[in-house]
Amino acid sequence: MIAKVVVDVAVDREFDYRIPDSLREQVKLGSRVMISFGSRQTQGYVVGFANTSEHAELKLIDAVVGEKPYIDEKLLQLARWMGEYYCAPVELAVRAVLPGAVRRHKAAFKEQLFVERVGGDTGPRGKAPKQDAVLDALERQGGMFLAELVKASGVEAGTVRTLERKGFVRIAKRASLRDPLARHTILPSRPPELMPEQAEALRVVCDSIDRLVPPVVLLHGVTGSGKTEVYLRAIQHALQQDKGAVVLVPEISLTPQTIERFRSRFGGSIAVLHSHLSDGERHDEWHRIHDGEARIVIGARSAVFAPVRNLGLIVVDEEHENSYKQEEAPRYNARDVAVMRGHMQGCAVLLGSATPALESCHNARKGKYCLVSMRRRVDHRSMPSMQVVDMRLEAERTGRVSVFSRELVSAVRARLDRGEQVMLFLNRRGYATSLVCSKCGYVASCEHCSISLTYHRHEEALKCHVCGAGKRVPERCPGCADPQYKLTGIGTQRVEAAVGKIFSGARVARMDADTTTTKGSHDRILGDFRTGKIDILVGTQMIAKGLDFPNVTLIGVLNADTSLHMPDFRAGERTFQLLTQVAGRAGRGEVPGEVIIQTFTPFHAAVQAARRLDYEGFCDKEMEYRQELGYPPFGHLVCVAVKGVVRERVEAAVERFAEALRPLLPASVIPAGPAPAPLERAKGQYRFQLILRAPLTRTILDALKPALRNFRWPSGVSASVDVDALSVL
Ligand code: ADP
Ligand code: ZN
């Protein structure tokens, strides 16, 4: 017998090892094994078996590590598919499925003192109330960790030791799982009565869960329509059938508030997976899931691989979010992996969004997904009223580009007078987006990237938002030595400063990547906003999504154009989604909300559709344009990105590759490029891309894979493949 093994060191291959007779019984699919690899010993995973090998001399597997295989056959199948589809080495796909913390077998458990009731009758109670309290607690619970017991019964540890001496309890060390949620106290919540649209959506999802071949359900629900409540009930239904569930949310939405909503319904059967867990916590959570102790997993992207037993449902919240796409190999989209996993394991998949991705909308229109819509907000709350302000007119009137239009200023004033709250959204951090010399036209730009530097006021520094490099503001223009500079373009810092000037007395806070670098700062700002310590919250996309603040009645979008003019075919879709999501933060309480969108392109289709809150209308228009050009969702797109430090070498290499590829491409594949990427230089590397479009990914990969295999990139030049690329910048 021969085992196919992938090893932790990155080489895109499976290796054949002979299984010694002594290990026949133990080596299973997914087993972790010790092997000698080259001159050293290392660990690997068994991903398959064979009877013969093309290699004559095979090494033996040395040992099996651990008892249970870590990856079951189904997850392995998913990993293989992922490697194939996303054009990634199989061991990288296996690594994605199995978290590093689990793979590396990191120190897992913390030892703590555990107290159990032993021994016989304690005689009549009432003489020693403290000891009684301990015994009562233990008899109710069976056994408890000492720390817990002390907290629950309000007695000192000494009391417990006394009982140990008397032989009524036993205290011994026991492994305890770190619980990342232990700090939060959770109050149980009672589910609300469902609205009719929610009930109908739930019926469709439950029906899917109960089927042998469950259809994917796309839940299109406007902001505030109560999608989360539908998820909660659907999970409840899965649990009742003894099935588990996975809930994916964008990393940015994985806040304590979100987690508590799930925890308060399902308590300890929840495991949480997100990027801020320590290795130890991640390891523990993974094992709680693997051992069947946690039946529900809530997490970001990689939670799609959680080894939940008898998986019945995967929920993908905000399924249109870009953050579901992994930016390094394997460049998978967790939403699409969820759909594939559902298909392979016969589990239901629920995709939810107020602005479904065009791909999902297309699948629903084709009948591939089952669509349910929720068009109303819960409790008959109205959708916000939307107003678009033409900033060109404002500039004409005032003779300069201002941060706030007159409309927005008076709307903010009105809210402050009434004690209501305001959110101001701008997708640019920093103070000014560029520093320009008005004499010679010099623009401060990054030495490593083809992008201008952003001026940050507090640090008095110029920073690159691509590579993070920073430098001090020069005293004179490096171009003409003139001491005068102009700061152009508006960032959140500048908005915050302007708010302070115009609305003196108002309490302002800013939330962006610069103000949330320390642990807990994110939660603190939102907490202060929730409790009314802040009147106006200025922020980037960090405040655009998922937040639910009933007292926010006005949202100002300061510049709707920032995402519109990206050189990317999805720019319109992104802008529409962003505006709709931002608008969704307004009017979630009793008072109806108002949204003011400032823009220099007021008649752009995405802006207009957002103003009308018209998702279908936007899709109709956008679909037409995409179909005409053969862009997704009409067909698939694969981006081959080539980069290196020396521009000429990169360009020559990508040209040569394109030439080698061309004869292999069937007529149905439309190539574009090679051409410099819109962001031509990043982190010191020149970037070129070749974009391939075709009705089926298969058609592209069948030509691309052999071409890549046979091509040797010159040293200093590397290539990566992004299948279903979301960003082609
Ligand atoms: P969405 O995710 O669709 O934007 P949420 O699930 O966050 O909406 O729900 C919005 C608010 O309405 C939440 O505060 C939620 O608790 C509440 N809610 C949801 N369903 C109901 C219901 N049936 N009755 C009353 N309140 C509800
Ligand atoms: Zn840079």
Enumerate the domain spans of the chain: 2-104, 110-176, 196-378, 385-429+491-624, 432-489, 636-723
3-state secondary structure 558-621: CCCCCCCCCCCCCHHHHHHHHHHHHHCCCCCCCCCCEEEEEECCCCCHHHHHHHCCCHHHHHHH
243 vs 148 pLDDT, higher one: 243
The rounded distance, in Å, linking the Cα atoms of 394 and 388 is 12
Residue 317 CA, closest ligand 1 atom number: 2
Nearest-10 crossing angle of helices 358-365, 615-629: 90
How far does residue 495's CA lie from ligand 2's centre (Å)? Answer: 24
Take atom 5 of ligand 1 and give the residue whose Cα is closest: 226
- Residue corresponding to tokens 């292999």: 664
Ligand 1 close to Cβ of residue 198 (< 6 A): yes
The rounded distance, in Å, linking the Cα atoms of 290 and 297 is 11
Ligand 1 close to Cβ of residue 206 (< 6 A): no
At 229, which amino acid appears?
E
Residue 176, strand partner residues: 110
Ligand 1 close to Cβ of residue 660 (< 6 A): no
What are the distances in angstroms from CA 722 to CA 83, 101, 239, 545?
12, 26, 37, 26
Intra-chain end-to-end CA distance of the chain, in Å:
48
What are the distances in angstroms from CA 491 to CA 426, 510, 543, 595, 622?
7, 11, 15, 20, 30
Residue 383 clears pLDDT 90, i.e. is over it: no
Q: Sheet harboring 296-299: ordered strands across?
A: 270-273, 296-299, 244-248, 311-317, 348-353, 217-221, 370-374
The rounded distance, in Å, linking the Cα atoms of 426 and 46 is 49
Ligand 1 close to Cβ of residue 194 (< 6 A): yes
Ligand 1 close to Cβ of residue 228 (< 6 A): yes
Grade residue 413 by pLDDT with cuts at 50, 70 and 90.
Answer: very high
Taking residues 197-217, report their average pLDDT. Answer: 94
Domain 636-723: give its CATH code. Answer: 3.30.70.600
Ligand 1 close to Cβ of residue 378 (< 6 A): yes
Inter-residue contact 437 to 428 (CB < 8 Å): no
pLDDT of residue 71: 76
CATH fold of 196-378: Rossmann fold (3.40.50)
- Report DSSP state, residue 18: E
Ligand 1 close to Cβ of residue 192 (< 6 A): yes
Greatest mean pLDDT among 61-75, 273-287, 442-456, 612-626 = 612-626
3-state secondary structure 518-542: CCCHHHHHHHHHHCCCCCEEEECHH
Taking residues 354-381, report their average pLDDT. Answer: 93
Apex 96 CA angle, 93 and 97, nearest 5: 90
The rounded distance, in Å, linking the Cα atoms of 354 and 342 is 22
Q: Is the domain defined by 385-429+491-624 classed in CATH 3.40.50.300? A: yes
Which tokens hold the place of 414? 């009105």
Phi, psi at 488, each rounded to 5°: -120, 160
Nearest-10 crossing angle of helices 334-345, 73-85: 140
The alpha carbon dihedral of 503, 506, 511, 515 has a sign of positive
Among 10-24, 315-329, 339-353, 549-563, which stretch is predicted with the lowest mean pLDDT? 10-24
**Fold agreement between 196-378 and 636-723:** no
Cβ neighbours of residue 148 closer than 8 Å, sequence gap 6 or more: none
Among 131-145, 594-608, 656-670, which stretch is predicted with the lowest mean pLDDT? 131-145
Q: Sheet harboring 636-644: ordered strands across?
A: 670-682, 685-694, 636-644, 717-723
The rounded distance, in Å, linking the Cα atoms of 540 and 514 is 10
Q: Sheet harboring 454-456: ordered strands across?
A: 454-456, 461-463, 470-472
Q: What is the DSSP string of 343-370?
A: HHHT-EEEEEESS--HHHHHHHHTTSSE
Which tokens hold the place of 491? 């960032």
Which tokens hold the place of 198? 């929610």
What are the distances in angstroms from CA 581 to CA 132, 251, 546, 681?
56, 16, 8, 32
Residue 222 CA, closest ligand 1 atom number: 3
Q: Relative to the alpha carbon of 230, which ligand is closest?
A: 1
Residue 223 CA, closest ligand 1 atom number: 4
Q: Relative to the alpha carbon of 682, which ligand is closest?
A: 2
Q: Relative to the alpha carbon of 190, which ligand is closest?
A: 1
Q: Which run of H or E residues covers position 334?
A: helix 334-345
pLDDT of residue 128: 84
The rounded distance, in Å, linking the Cα atoms of 16 and 4 is 5
How far does residue 455's CA lie from ligand 2's centre (Å)? Answer: 13
Q: Relative to the alpha carbon of 452, which ligand is closest?
A: 2
How are beta strands 110-117 and 169-176 bridged, if at all?
A: antiparallel
CATH fold of 110-176: Arc Repressor Mutant, subunit A (1.10.10)
Of 198, 373, 548, the one to substitute when testing ligand 1's pocket (max ligand atoms within 8 A of C-beta) is: 548
Ligand 1 close to Cβ of residue 496 (< 6 A): no
Global model pTM greater than 0.75? yes
pLDDT of residue 302: 92
Q: Relative to the alpha carbon of 546, which ligand is closest?
A: 1
Residue 184 clears pLDDT 50, i.e. is over it: no
Residue 231 CA, closest ligand 1 atom number: 6
CATH fold of 2-104: GIY-YIG endonuclease (3.40.1440)
Residue 180 clears pLDDT 60, i.e. is over it: no
Average pLDDT, the chain: 86
Ligand 1 close to Cβ of residue 225 (< 6 A): yes
Contacts made by residues 652-658, CB under 8 angstroms, sequence distance 24+: 652/714, 653/713, 653/714, 653/717, 654/688, 654/689, 654/690, 654/719, 656/711, 657/690, 657/707, 657/711, 657/713, 657/719, 658/690
Of 198, 223, 229, the one to substitute when testing ligand 1's pocket (max ligand atoms within 8 A of C-beta) is: 229
pLDDT of residue 183: 39
The rounded distance, in Å, linking the Cα atoms of 648 and 484 is 37
Ligand 1 close to Cβ of residue 384 (< 6 A): no
pLDDT of residue 590: 78
Take atom 25 of ligand 1 and give the residue whose Cα is closest: 192
Ligand 1 close to Cβ of residue 224 (< 6 A): yes
